Structure 1
Amino acid sequence: MPYAEDHYSVRVLSYDELTSPERELWDAFPEGGRVDLAAGAAQDVPVAEGGRWGPERTVRAAVIVALLQGANTAQPGGIASLRLAGARISGHLDLAGAQIAHAFRLTDCWFEEGVDLSGASTRSIGLVGCRVPGVEAGLIRVEGRFDLRRSRVVKGPASPFHRRLTALSLINAHVSGAVNLSAAEITAPGEWAVSAGGLVAEGGVYCLDGFVAHGEVRLMGAQLPGGLHMRGALLESPGPRGVLLALDNAVASTLDFSDGFTANGTVRLRGARISGDLTFDGAVLNGPADGRGPALAAPLMHAVDFDLTLARPPSGMVDLRGAQVSYLHDSDRSWPEVVELDGFVYGSVKAGGAGEAGGRRDSVARRVGWLRRSPGYNPQPYEQLAGWYRKAGHDDDARRVLLAKHRHRRRTLPLAARVWGHLLDVTVGYGYRPWLAGVWLLALTLVGTLAFGTHSPQPVKPDEGAPFQPLVYTLDLLIPIGGLGQRTAWYWTQGGLQWLAYLLIAFGWVLTTAVIAGVTRTLQKS
């Protein structure tokens, strides 16, 4: 007689001890036949209420374990696999460390207790449309797909893992195909909904079609050659730190958080390496509810194409310190009130929205406003933006950015330095607007010529030297080096004109010093 071995008590069950649904599954296994216990059910009770299903739809976990461990070998010409639908699985499905030679797929099943696959080696696994109180699959090796589509995985007291923090664990798992969580709902409020640090998923991870996670999704150090796809996913109920998605030091071909992806907590990509696209096109980043944490934390992140054209501005800070991207796409909805940009490097930037429609001058003003959102003063963001404008051939725009940098820095200086900075600004624009010195020189020359032309000064040596020329005299006062022979040949008896002469001499020295300082700074930066 065929038999089944109870995984815990190691008690042998005879074929006669199997229930009717268990016998049906037993007989179908050698040829991979599908058993659907919902087909003949008298009532249409949904999977969420599978605890109400009776003995006619109940299969003991021990029977499934026995079959997958070779209790009923395949018939000649048949390919054994376990395919069960619409069943209530009683007991603990414990396959920890098992070497499973057969694929198995459980569809629309209700589990009394959690599933333990930790350290197992198997082919494709499918728990599709099931209700499971916890799945432990750390260190698993899957030569195929790991499929949890449409399933509801809930960490709770019914789970043997209820003392752990995780509803679904894939820590250090290796899946040669895809991990498919599309349309699944994984719940561990305030804890870890998914813990998959060190996961290798060669076919990628798919969380599409309305995937929902109540709790943190942890993929730190994951290797995802097929990418992470979370279009339209919803992440909420973060843990105490407010982090919803942690991809620290992960390596992926693409990270897709587009088309309505919503995170009501922090998305953290610290040190992540993305060889292709990182997109938040149409996403909503709300950040933690208490407002204390960032909406997006991506320091030291590397990506080729970074699209941050969000559906609306983030409600929390965006941290891009030390990040590097080749192409940056943003819009007026991309940036919150606070943006950390120190060390952020980009090769090219492309913006959309009304901010770019008013011409390049408006674009520069918008970009400078973007840099001003960074707390404190850091020169690197200004140098980075100016360098990008130079590469694009817009030297005038680069100078505008560098001028804004000096004005921002001026706010951090002591009073005396701020006064000198204002003087450099109004006279030569910190060296980036040298034509201002010419404007000042022309205006002062005009004032001096008109004022000195109304009266005649007294000669220092009568009947000697050139006749008095108001224009030449004014220029002689304004030019501190050398001389035109007028300043030393004439003096004023009117007190007001004498003081004007002193002021013009002082202005001449100030203008000359400012021009030299500004030109020197410009030459040092060029």
Structure 2
Amino acid sequence: MLSYDELTSPERELWDAFPEGRRVDLRTGVPEEDRVAASGQWDSGRTVRATVIVALLLGANTAQSGAVECLRLAGARISGHLNLAGAQIAHDLWLEDCWFEESVDLLGATTQTLAITGSRVPGIEADSARIEGNLDLRHSVVECLASSPFNHVSTALSLSDARVSGGMLLNGARISAPGGWAMAAGGLVMEGGVFCQGGFVARGQVRLMEAQLPRGLHMRGARLECPGPRGVALSLDNAVASTLNFSDGFTANGTVRLRGTRVSDKATFEGAVLNGPPDGDGPALLGMLMQAVDFDLTLAQPPSGTVDLRAAQVSYLHDSEHSWPDVVELEGFVYGSIKVDEAGERREAVGRRNSVPQRVAWIQRCPGYNPQPYEQLAGWYRKAGHDDEARRVLLAKQRHQRQTLPRAARAWGHLLDVTVGYGYRPWLAGVWLLALTLLGALSFSTHAPTPVQRGEGAPFQPLVYTLDLLIPIGGLGQRSAWYWSNDSLQWLAYLLIAFGWVLTTAIIAGVSRALQKN
């Protein structure tokens, strides 16, 4: 038990101020002397033992009538280990511009608002903590803890399974655990928003798997660094959030993982930079199974790693010329609408000039062949009333699939493509029929054929005779009534019969396929 006589001058000042909630400011007013970086030069006149702070927070000095107990301290060097693990703290703690010699331990604690701003802290351990107010670390530097016996990974800010009834304010903070976890907050439950803006920097992985963020995660302009190979800068796997804001210069040097993340409103990367892992071996954005109402991927520049959106579902997709890298994964990706960013304006992508070639090229950035992205794109065009564009997409799908088939099947595919466009361009059959009809009619009009039975049958008509050769079903009475003594014309007749069968077969096969797919 601490005795008042054992306290130093600044500790006595803090002790006396605590019952009234008054702030004790040990700063000199000289910027060079008050910088936290110069705290090694702070003498005993600015040092407060952590045990004194713990004693006050646990009720060592009772409150005065009509006052609210609160610990407010600025400009102090805090010596020793601030150990509040498992504590039940009924008072707010406000520490400003302080320098901690050792880490802060709030494991399993229950506390009110906790504010450590503008300070330097060698790690904060708050797993399973309950904070009935805000967690405020604005403009602080939180550095890595030693590896724990449980995860063997160095961690700077640990909030796994913690619950915060207010917001978490990290604007301007620098959290550093190179090669480890800058923030480990799996299972974090927030009732307020998480704000990592205004120059926020994290070195090491930020882990928010399965976190509940009903007021959103706001990281506008933040910078995330994960220097290790195949590094993950941010992991939000299976998290639930109202909003994810990674805009206005947000930069991630490492993978951003949104696997299974559910966003009830908007997930935006407008103006962001996604560099992916430093060694280039891994995705820049992994959004498998993600769900969002509004997904904005109008990046400042193309990602340097792949973008994986397999089985993701969004209602509105926003993209631009900088949205997509050379390789994208779109298998199972479902969207309701696409809007493009042009000259700062958002416009519906459907109906734009060169829309289909650009979208098909987007799909063809996927490794290998998969029909679903084509079907999804065609369905979007069809839903918007652009059936012609939908057919062009489905034709591109057939051409892509043809590249994966055996040689014989590829040959048949080429024939279907040339003759009827796989059924999506049936007018091609009319072009072929017209060309072959003109060829036959002109060729057969230069010579007179020999009748099979003289004096019987209708007179020879080159046009009707050609059509009779090209139409394999039924007959017009010309083909069976005449033959040619001229070998060249006889072979032309045979070729027209063959072309007629091939053309008819292609029409039936192509149209049947198109009808089945539609």
TM-score (norm 1): 0.95
Q: Does 1:279 align with 2:268?
A: yes
Identify if the C-alpha distance between structure 1 residues 456 and 263 changes in structure 2 by more than 3 Å, giving closer, same or farther.
same
1:203 paired to 2:195: no
1:91 aligns with 2:80: yes
Q: Distance in 2 between matches of 1:134 and 1:51?
A: 18
* Alpha-carbon distance change, 40 to 486 in structure 1, aligned in 2, over 3 angstroms: closer
**Unaligned stretches of 5+ in structure 2?**
none
Once structures 1 and 2 are overlaid, which stretch shifts more, 458-467 or 273-282? 458-467
- Contact 1:191 1:238 survives alignment (8 Å): no
Deviations 1:339-392 (A, max 9, x none): 100000001111123898996340111011101111111111111111111110
Which residue of the partner structure matches residue 89 of structure 2? 100
User: Does the 8 Å contact 1:220/1:249 carry over to 2?
Assistant: yes
* Deviation for aligned residue 1:464: 1.5
Q: Distance in 2 between matches of 1:236 and 1:500?
A: 73
Alignment-derived partner of residue 296 in structure 1: 285
SS in 1 for 2:202: strand
Residues 433 and 52 of structure 1: is their aligned pair in 2 closer, same or farther, counting only changes over 3 Å? same
1:438 has 2:430 as partner: yes
1:58 to 1:312, Cα distance in 2 relative to 1, 3 A: same
Q: Does 1:49 align with 2:49?
A: no
Q: 2: CA distance between counterparts of 1:141 and 1:477?
A: 87
Residues 491, 41 of structure 1: CA spacing in aligned structure 2 closer, same or farther, 3 A cutoff?
closer
Deviation at 1:72, TM superposition (A): 0.4
- The structural deviation recorded for 1:160 is 11
Distance 1:129 1:195 in 2: 21
Shift of 1:41: 7.0
Local SS of the residue matching 2:476? coil
| Alignment check: 8 A CA contact 1:216 1:239 kept | no
Alignment deviations for residues 3-40 of structure 1 (CA, whole Å, 9 cap, x no partner): xxxxxxxxx33211100000010000000000010136
2: CA distance between counterparts of 1:182 and 1:515? 65
Q: Secondary structure at the match of 1:436?
A: helix
The letter of the residue matching 1:305 is D
Name the counterpart of 2:70.
81
| Deviation larger for 352-361 or 76-85 | 352-361
Q: Partner of 1:5 in structure 2? A: none
Q: Answer yes or no: is 1:466 the counterpart of 2:450.
A: no
**For the structure 1 residues 419 and 302, does the alpha-carbon distance in structure 2 shift closer, same or farther, using more than 3 Å as the test?**
same
Residues 478/157 of structure 1: CA separation in 2 closer, same or farther (3 Å cut): closer
Within the alignment, does 1:489 sit opposite 2:478 as a pair?
no
Residue among 301, 304, 307 paired with 1:318: 307
1:446 is displaced (CA, Å) by 0.2
Distance 1:348 1:13 in 2: 67
Pair 1:514 & 2:514 matched: no
Is the contact between residue 304 and residue 327 of structure 1 (CA under 8 Å) also seen in structure 2?
Answer: yes
Secondary structure of the 1:101 match is coil
Cα deviation for residue 467 of structure 1 reads 1.3
Contact 1:189 1:237 survives alignment (8 Å)? yes
Distance 1:162 1:424, change over 3 A: closer
| 1:504–1:170 Cα change, 3 Å | same
Q: 1:362 to 1:162 in 2, by over 3 A?
A: closer
1:7 corresponds to which residue? none
Q: What is the match of residue 413 of structure 1?
A: 405
Cross-structure match for 1:370: 362
Deviation string, structure 1 residues 14-70 (Cα, Å, up to 9, x no partner): 211100000010000000000010136796241023122110100000000000000
Equivalence for 1:228: 217
- Give, in whole Å, the separation in 1 of the partners of 2:248 and 2:31: 41
For the pair 1:118 / 2:107, whether they are aligned, the reply is: yes
Give CA-to-partner distance per residue, 1:289-338, whole Å, 9 cap, x none: 21110000000000000000000111100000000001000011100000
Is 1:386–1:402's contact at 8 Å kept on the other side of the alignment?
A: yes
Aligned-residue offset at 1:241? 3.5
- Name the residue aligned to 2:470: 478
Q: Residue 471 of structure 1 aligns to a residue in which SS?
A: helix
Counterpart in 2 of 1:382? 374
SS at match of 1:252: strand
Contact 1:272–1:302 at 8 Å: present in 2 too?
yes
1:291 is paired with a residue whose SS is coil
Question: Once the two structures are superposed, what CA deviation does each residue of 1:210-241 show, in whole Å capped at 9, x if it has no partner?
Answer: 10000000000000011000000000124444
Alignment partner, residue 51 of structure 2: 62
The answer as to 2:25 corresponding to 1:36 is: yes
Q: Which amino acid aligns with 2:384?
A: A
State the Cα deviation string for residues 147-192 of structure 1 (Å, max 9, x = none): 0000000116699999642100000000000011110000001210
CA spacing shift, 1:164–1:54, aligned 2, 3 Å? farther
Identify the range of structure 1 (43-52 vs 488-497) with the bigger mean alpha-carbon deviation.
43-52
Indicate the SS of the match to 1:360: coil
Partner secondary structure for residue 254 of structure 1 = strand
Percent identity, please.
73
Scaled by the length of structure 2, the TM-score of the pair is 0.97
Q: Tell me, which stretches of 5 or more residues in structure 1 are unaligned?
A: 1-11
Q: What is the CA RMSD across the aligned residues, in angstroms?
A: 1.9
Determine the structure 1 residue equivalent to 2:120: 131
Amino acid at match of 2:261: A
Paired positions, count:
515
Q: SS at 2:339's partner residue?
A: strand
| 1:171 corresponds to | 160
